[in-house]
Structure 1
C-alpha cells in the first residue's frame, strides 16, 4: 500500500514519477513479474525490480527521462547471462526479465488513487499493464490470474493487487504463533481462529491482521475462496481438526494443509471417507503438513509449513486446476 501512496504524495506535490514494473521473467531472474520500483522527479526512489547494478542503471535512466520530461512508455529487456549480446544487464545470475517504464505525471493522480483504494479495500479489480498504459477493469471470471506476454514492443501483464495472499490458521498454539510471525514477515495477511478464550499464545499474536474466537462447526463461513487463499489446520483436538477440514475441502483455495502424525491423518481421512468425502478430494490436502525436514520444535515446524506454502505460491506456472476444490 505504501508504494502507491508514495506516488500519490509525489503527484500531489506536482512531481512526476516513473514506474518500472517487471512484466515478464524467465529462469533465475532476480526480478519476478509484478516487482515494482518508482523514481520521483525530486530524486526519491522506492521499491525494487531485482537489485544490483541493473537496478541502479535503470533508476539512473529514469532520472534522465524525468529531467528531459520524456513521457514515452517503453520496455527494456535485461538478460542476466554474462555472454548475452542483447540487453546485457551486467549481472551473472542467468535468466531474463522485461521491465516496462510508465511515466506518471500529475494528471495520472486519479488512476494512482484508484490503485490505492483497490489495495486498501481488498477489491478484486484487475490491473493490466500494456504498451499503451495501465488499465483497470472488473474481473471477467472469479479467478483472474497473471498471464505475462511480451511480443516485441507489445506486452501484457495482469494482476489483482487487492487480493493479497491470505493465510487462515485454525488453532492458536505455539506453532500458530511462530507461523503467524513468519508468514506476516513474508507478505501474507494472517487470520487466526481458535475456539478457546484466554489462550496466552492467542493473546500474544500481534502478527495476525485478525483474530477471532469461533465455533469450529461454523468455520466455513469465516473463510473466503480464491487463488490467493491458504489454509492451515492445527487445532488442539482430533475432532476439531476433522470438523474444520471437512468444511474446508469443498472450497477453491490455493493451499490446504493439516498438521498431525501419519496415524492421526489416516484416522481423520478414513472417517471423512466414511462420511462421503472422496479420495480425490483428500489427495489435495497437504497432510502431514509441510516439507519433510524432520522438524521438531514449533519454530522448525512453522518453517516447514511456510516453506511448503511459499513453494506453492511461487510456482512459475499457475492455473485454476491447481486450486483445491
Structure 2
C-alpha cells in the first residue's frame, strides 16, 4: 500500500498512453536480507527509463540492460536475482539476499484506470496477475491483507494514500507538511486565520480555509487518515479534535505541554465523547525526543505517526505521563 507504488502505476499508464513499451516488475518473494519487501514495484520503459524500486539500484540497472539488449518479455514471467553469494554481491544485495521478481508487459490500461480510481476513493484493491497468460483481476481488499504468491498467481495490494490533516498553518505545520510529503502522505492544512492563510506557500499541500471542525467532517477521515492540531488555540484545536476523535482516523494528536494536555482532556470530557475516545488522543504529541526546534518537533510528530501506522508500540514517552495515555499510545 505504498503511495509511491500508486505513483509508479500512474507513470506507467502515462508512458503507455504516450505509445511507449512498458514492463511492470514486482517483488514476489524474498529470502535473506532482501533490500525491498514483497510487493515493491518498478516500471521500466522501452528506452530504459525507470520509476519505482525493487532493490538498492543494481537490479534496476540490470533490468534496464536486459531491455536495452532486446530482452523484452511478451508474457508474465519470473526473474531471480542473488541465487548465489557471488550474484548477491554482484547485484548489490545484502549477503545471502535473494529476490524473485515478476516481470510483465503492460498491454492495456483499463485495469489501471479502475485501480487508480478506486484508490482515489479511498478503497483497498487486490490485483491478481496470472503467470504466463498475464491475466489481471481486481478485487476489493481488506485492511491487513498482504501480497502473496502461490506459484501461479501473484496478489498485490494497493490502497489509498495516507492522509495527514494539520490544524494550523504556522512554522511547525510548514516543516511537518514538507517532511510528511516526503513520507508519502497527502497533506492538508487548515487554518481560518487570514494572517496565516496569506503566507502559506508549501507546494503540493491542499490548504483549507474553513473552520477546522467543518473541515474534519468534510474530509471524512478514515483508517488512512492522521489529524494533528497545532494552533495552541483551544477554539480551533478543540473543535477539530471533537470531530477527529469520533472518526475512524488512525491517529489524532495535539500539540501542548503535559499540563495543557490535561486541561484539554478535561474540556473534551464536557462534550459527547466517551473516555475511550478521549484516550485516543496523542498528547503531548510526538515521540519523546527532547525536541526543541520546530524541525525536531516535526520529526517527533511524524515518527509517532509512522509508528502507529505501522502497528509499532509507542514506548518512547516521558515517565510522568498518565498510564491511560501510555496505554492509548500503544494502540
Within-5 A mapping of 1:194-209:
194-199=191-196, 203-209=199-205
Q: Which runs of 4+ in 1 moved over 6 A?
A: 84-88
Contact 1:145 1:159 in 2 (8 A): no
- Deviation for aligned residue 1:263: 0.8
Q: For structure 2, list consecutive stretches of 5 or more residues without a partner in the other structure.
A: 1-5, 314-327
2:168 corresponds in structure 1 to 171
Contact 1:289 1:305 in 2 (8 A): yes
Contact 1:34 1:159 in 2 (8 A): no
2:246 corresponds in structure 1 to 250
The 3 A distance-change label for structure 1 pair 2 and 218 is: closer
How big is the alpha-carbon RMSD for the aligned residues of Structure 1 and Structure 2? 3.7
Q: Secondary structure at the match of 1:21?
A: strand
The 3 A distance-change label for structure 1 pair 83 and 42 is: closer
Q: For structure 1, list consecutive stretches of 5 or more residues without a partner in the other structure.
A: none
Once residues 258 and 181 of structure 1 are traced to their aligned partners in structure 2, the CA distance between those partners, rounded to angstroms, is: 19
Q: Secondary structure at the match of 1:199?
A: helix
- Deviation for aligned residue 1:113: 4.6
Once residues 157 and 214 of structure 2 are traced to their aligned partners in structure 1, the CA distance between those partners, rounded to angstroms, is: 35
Contact 1:17 1:41 in 2 (8 A): yes
Once residues 2 and 158 of structure 1 are traced to their aligned partners in structure 2, the CA distance between those partners, rounded to angstroms, is: 14
The 3 A distance-change label for structure 1 pair 268 and 96 is: farther
Count of aligned residue pairs for this structure pair: 309
2:236 corresponds in structure 1 to 240
Q: In structure 1, which of residues 55, 58, 67 is the aligned counterpart of residue 60 of structure 2?
A: 55
Once residues 308 and 270 of structure 2 are traced to their aligned partners in structure 1, the CA distance between those partners, rounded to angstroms, is: 30
1:225 corresponds in structure 2 to 221
2:154 corresponds in structure 1 to 155
1:91 corresponds in structure 2 to 93
Once residues 184 and 57 of structure 1 are traced to their aligned partners in structure 2, the CA distance between those partners, rounded to angstroms, is: 30
Contact 1:76 1:87 in 2 (8 A): no
Q: In structure 2, which of residues 71, 75, 98 is the aligned counterpart of residue 72 of structure 1?
A: 75
TM-score, normalising length: structure 1:
0.78
Q: Secondary structure at the match of 1:268?
A: helix
CA-to-aligned-CA distance 1:246-289 (integer Å, 9 cap, x gap): 21111112221111111111111133234453333233222111
Q: Secondary structure at the match of 1:226?
A: coil
